[in-house]
Amino acid sequence: MAEAMSSFLLTSAFRAAAAATTARLARSAITTAAVSATRGPSAIALASASKQGLIKVEGVREYQVRASIKPRCEHCYGVVRKGRRYILCKKDPKHKQRQG
């Protein structure tokens, strides 16, 4: 009886540890994706996490990558970051462009 009880406790402890590890890994993936997405245009981790169903992303629009970028309206403005040219727009996020 004692042997059966100890194996049951061991099994339940193993299941609890496995569940905790899985939850911790999911949280770390979400945190890593959120942190890397807030640090710049490197949204690869965020896109990966959203495709895996770990997080839900709404309202994040990627850049249109083009060889030649131009302002599309009067609210568009250009910036240069890390050697890349960008066009950003405060009115319409569809106008976001990146050169190269």
pLDDT at 85 over 70: yes
Question: According to DSSP H, which parts of 1-100 are helical?
Answer: 2-38, 44-51
User: Amino acid identity, residue 63?
Assistant: Y
Question: In this predicted model, what pLDDT tens digit does every residue of 37-75 receive, in sequence order?
Answer: 455 545 667 677 766 766 666 667 789 999 999 999 999
The alpha carbon dihedral of 88, 55, 31, 33 has a sign of negative
8 or 94: which carries more pLDDT confidence?
Answer: 94
Q: Is 95 exposed, middle or buried (0-12, 13-18, 19+ CB in 10 A)?
A: buried
The residue count for the chain: 100
3-state secondary structure (DSSP) of residue 97: strand
100 or 35: which carries more pLDDT confidence?
Answer: 100
Provide the pLDDT for residue 48. Answer: 72
8 or 58: which carries more pLDDT confidence?
Answer: 58
